[in-house]
């Protein structure tokens, strides 16, 4: 169960860019939830918070089983970070969704402070915390861009 959750049901096994594949899967789920279940921005924060503790457990268990600190196939952290990024979308449209994906991946890859420092936290907490912060950065930039009608 931990491995299924940590890899976001197999997305992490993508041979190329598993983090981006996990983020894209989270984005697709977010679009469906918005369009068909009426999710508003705050629902994405609730969803990310609900999944956070199981994600910490799953990522920690997968990392321990693999014998590495942050295995590349663990993408549940990207899923949570992407949902947090989507919370900044105002308005929610195809442009904001693409911008949310691009911004989250940018902050996740380049890791501006304190994103990189959060990786140092132990186990699954460190695996997930840096992506949570990258998602917060992406959400703030996305929100500001929407405030100024830039998308």
* pLDDT tens for each residue of the chain, 151 residues long: 999 999 999 999 999 999 999 999 999 999 999 999 999 999 999 999 999 999 999 999 999 999 999 999 999 999 999 999 999 999 999 999 999 999 999 999 999 999 999 999 999 999 999 999 999 999 999 999 999 999 9
Asked whether residue 125 is assigned to any structural domain, the reply reads yes
Asked whether residue 53 is assigned to any structural domain, the reply reads yes
Distances 127 to 12, 29, 57, 62, 99 between C-alpha atoms, Å:
14, 22, 10, 11, 23
Report the domain count for the chain: 1
Asked whether residue 80 is assigned to any structural domain, the reply reads yes
Asked whether residue 13 is assigned to any structural domain, the reply reads no
Domain span at 132: 26-146
User: DSSP secondary-structure letter at 11?
Assistant: G
CA nearest to 83, candidates 99, 104, 111, 59: 104
| N residues, the chain | 151
């Amino acid at each position: 169960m931990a491995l299924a959750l940590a890899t976001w049901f197999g997305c992490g096994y993508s041979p190329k860019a598993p983090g981006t594949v996990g983020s894209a899967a989270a984005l697709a789920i977010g679009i469906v939830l918005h369009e068909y279940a009426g999710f508003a921005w705050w629902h994405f924060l609730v969803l990310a918070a609900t999944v956070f503790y199981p994600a910490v457990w799953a990522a920690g268990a997968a990392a321990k089983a693999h014998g590495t600190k942050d295995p590349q196939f663990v993408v549940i952290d990207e899923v949570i970070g992407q949902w947090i990024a989507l919370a900044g979308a105002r308005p929610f449209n195809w442009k904001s969704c693409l911008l949310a994906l691009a911004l989250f991946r940018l902050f996740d890859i380049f890791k501006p402070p304190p994103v990189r420092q959060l990786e140092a936290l132990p186990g699954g907490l460190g695996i997930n915390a840096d992506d949570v912060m990258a998602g917060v950065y992406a959400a703030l930039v996305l929100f500001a861009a929407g405030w100024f009608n830039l998308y």
